[in-house]
Amino acid sequence: MVEFPNGEREDYRTEVAALTMSFRVFLNLRSHGLLSLHFYPFMNSNIQSPDILQTQLPVMEQFYTVQGEGAFTGTPAYFIRTAGCDVGCVWCDVKESWHTSGYPVIPVEELAENARQSGARVAVVTGGEPTMYNLDALTEALQQKGLRTHIETSGAHPLTGNWHWICFSPKKFRKPLPEIYARASELKVIVFNKSDFKWAEEHAAEINPDCRLFLQPEWSKAEQMTPLIVEYIKEHPRWSVSLQTHKYMNIP
């Protein structure tokens, strides 16, 4: 049973049963005049078992763009945004990713091939909260295609998959699991108000020594918080500033 921030509960076993029964039928009249049927499975509601979804995942969107945030800012990357998130940040800018309704379930092989064909060297798996799913098969498929595998996670669920880079962005709305602190490559704390500096240091105190530290203004508060972040990192130089540069560039 999965409980969402709004209190809604979903039994994933019911959803899996629904998935097997839910097909969208596409009629295709071929040039030779015969009618053929193509069946595509679609998610028709919310969440699925992390154990079941290894070779296919609910995906909200996939696109080739430039990484706008954190240590790899400015790097071309193929983004795979899984659908489904149970963290519930009040300032979330992708709330449409919280549920899986209406989003296709896509084989990981297809996702990896799309990433390869884009020409990207880096695949970024984001969400939603991607760690709600078992990502072993996805990272294996991506790496077999020659891509680096990066993930962006709040650390709220056990981390599966094989990663070249782990961006850990803790959220106040759901406590991270302890295991993520030893594995994170990058700690990215979103600064929404002044108290978040102290909160950022609490996470930094637990993080592994090789992890890079970033403070990033929440987009709607960027005007107020960016000057405070600049002053803070000048006084605490182990931190760096991260900006959502993709929003300044008006790209996805």
Which residues ranging from 121 to 140 are in contact with ligand SF4 (CB under 6 A)?
127-129
Nearest approach, Cβ of residue 30 and ligand SF4 (Å): 42
Q: How far apart are CA 190 and CA 195, in angstroms?
A: 11
Residue found under tokens 């993520």:
180
- Of 47, 59, 87, 147, which one interacts with ligand SF4 (CB under 6 A)? 87
Q: Which stretch binds ligand SF4 (CB under 6 A): 82-90, 178-186, 191-199, 220-228?
A: 82-90
Q: Which residue has the tokens 């030893």?
A: 182
Q: Tell me: does residue 157 bind ligand SF4 (CB under 6 A).
A: no
Q: At what angle do helices 108-118 and 136-144 cross, to 10 degrees?
A: 40
Q: Compare residues 141 and 216 and give the one whose CB is closer to ligand SF4.
A: 216
Residues 6+ apart with CB under 8 A from 25: 37, 38, 39
Q: Does 154 bind ligand SF4 (CB under 6 A)?
A: yes
Closest CA to 228 of 198, 185, 187: 198
Minimal distance, residue 50 CB to ligand SF4, in Å: 16
d(CA 183, CA 161): 12
Applying CB under 6 A, which of residues 66, 94, 177, 233 lies at the interface with ligand SF4? 94
What is the binding site for ligand SF4 (CB under 6 A)?
85, 87-89, 92, 94, 97, 127-129, 154, 171
